[in-house]
Amino acid sequence: MDTNTLDPEKKLPEVNPRLPRSSTTPDEPWLRYVNIDIIAYVLSYTLFHPWTSWVLVLCLRAQHTPWHHTEIQVAMAWAFAMSTVSFFNVMSDRIAFGAPREVDLAEEVIVITGGVEGLGGLLAETYGMRNANVAVLDTKRVGEDEAEEKGVLYYECDVGDAEQVEAVAKEIVEDLGPPTILINNAGIVRPKPILDSTAAEVEQTFRTNTLSHFNTLRTFLPHMLREGRGTIVTVSSVLGHLGAANLSSYTASKAALHALHQSLRAELAQNPEARDIKTILVSPGQMSTNMFAGVETPSSFFAPVVRPVDVAKEILRLVEKGESGDVVLPLYSSWISVLGLLPAGMKALVRRWSGVDTAIAKAGLVQAGRAVEKSG
């Protein structure tokens, strides 16, 4: 044994430890993270939740509050009201979308377009970590090592080209089996005024954002019909309802997706073989991806920027519950249709206050005039 190791007078080398930072984000007041969506979420599980409402009634009875007292009568009336609203919401979804289908990820084959980055990439990696059968269609290339690490099969494909989609579909069927879940997420945006947009640029935007959905539906829907089950997710945008200056081709292509998805639902409802094919329409507001990097919302309280992970969680929830439905985040997005009911002058004031027609220019994206492949 080395006696030097036992020498108490021998000094050990000094080490300057680097402790991990508790947070990589700058310190901000906690109010900065409070918005109307968080408040609505908390209320939905407390004041406006039937179970919580009846717990309040039980608490009053536990305190021996007589039935004829005002407080317990108000509490019971509120509990009945929340129960009635909840019941009608469940019945409304059942009438609109039918009963949910059974979903076992081990028996599903998931196809995601535009699934290398952003929202699509998040969905692909999540399913890959859960050992699901995932095929991603994207123009971006992914190395074999990265694909193996993520547990996802990547196919280089321009989904705006019908022939490429059909060729890749044959590979997917051979590699994984018949696709049963289709998530149409691919898209691009060209922030240019109408007069500065070329015919080729507009055509490319519609091919990627809109025609790609026709290509994938015509290719993969027959497999779902033969399997007798499936889920189709259409990723659109709240801008499809609004339109916006310097985003004409993008907003028009997204507006077309709303009509396409409603037509798809109507056709599936008339097909007896499509009883267990579910549809999900995703219409998020601004997400924190590179698609609209630098664009600011008019109010972080009333119009917060949505995190892709929050949208992904809602998509995953509906897909795995085997339900149809709509994913609309943040809260203001679910009320956009009300804007069409307002008088013209009031609509103009709302648009001016929201800055929807000036946000792209203020962010400096118009001058760039570049195409941004959708990653969220």
Average pLDDT across each block of 10 residues of the chain; the chain has 376 residues. List them in order.
53 57 58 86 94 94 91 95 96 94 96 94 95 95 91 96 97 97 95 93 96 98 97 96 94 97 96 96 89 82 91 96 96 87 91 90 73 51
Do residues 137 and 218 share a domain?
yes
Q: What is the pLDDT of residue 99?
A: 94
Question: What DSSP letter does each residue of 285-311 carry, written as one string?
Answer: --BSSGGGTT---S-TTTSPPBPHHHH
For residue 49, what are the domain limits?
43-86
Residues 116 and 220 in one domain: yes
Q: Work out the number of other CB atoms within 10 angstroms of the CB of residue 8.
A: 4
Spell 111-137 as b/e; 16+ CB within 10 A means b. Answer: bbbbbbbbbbbbbbbbbbeeebbbbbb
Q: Which residues does residue 135 pair with via DSSP β-bridges, in sequence order?
A: 111, 153
Examine residue 18 and state whether it is found in any structural domain, yes or no.
no
- Residue 155 pairs in a beta bridge with 137
Residue 17, helix vs strand vs coil? coil
Q: Do 79 and 217 fall within a single domain?
A: no
Q: Is residue 149 part of a domain?
A: yes
283 and 136 in a single domain? The answer is yes
How far apart CA 241 and CA 256 sit, in angstroms, is: 10
**What angle, 0 to 180 degrees and rounded to 10, lies between the N-to-C axes of helices 308-321 and 118-129?**
50
The domain total for the chain is 2
60 and 185, same domain (yes or no): no
Q: The tokens 């037509």 sit on which residue?
A: 263
Distance CA 156, CA 142 (A): 9
Whether residues 147 and 52 share a domain: the answer is no
Q: Are strands 133-138 and 181-184 parallel, antiparallel or unpaired?
A: unpaired
Q: Which residues are catalytic?
A: 250, 254
8 A C-beta contact, residue 135 and residue 112:
yes
- Cα separation, 323 vs 318, whole angstroms: 5
275 in a structural domain:
yes
> Does 163 share its domain with 237?
yes
Same domain, 281 and 365: yes
34 inside domain: no
Report H helices in the chain.
36-44, 50-62, 70-97, 118-129, 144-150, 162-175, 199-206, 212-227, 239-242, 248-269, 308-321, 336-339, 344-354, 359-362, 365-368
CATH of residue 221's domain is 3.40.50.720
Q: Does residue 143 sit within a domain?
A: yes
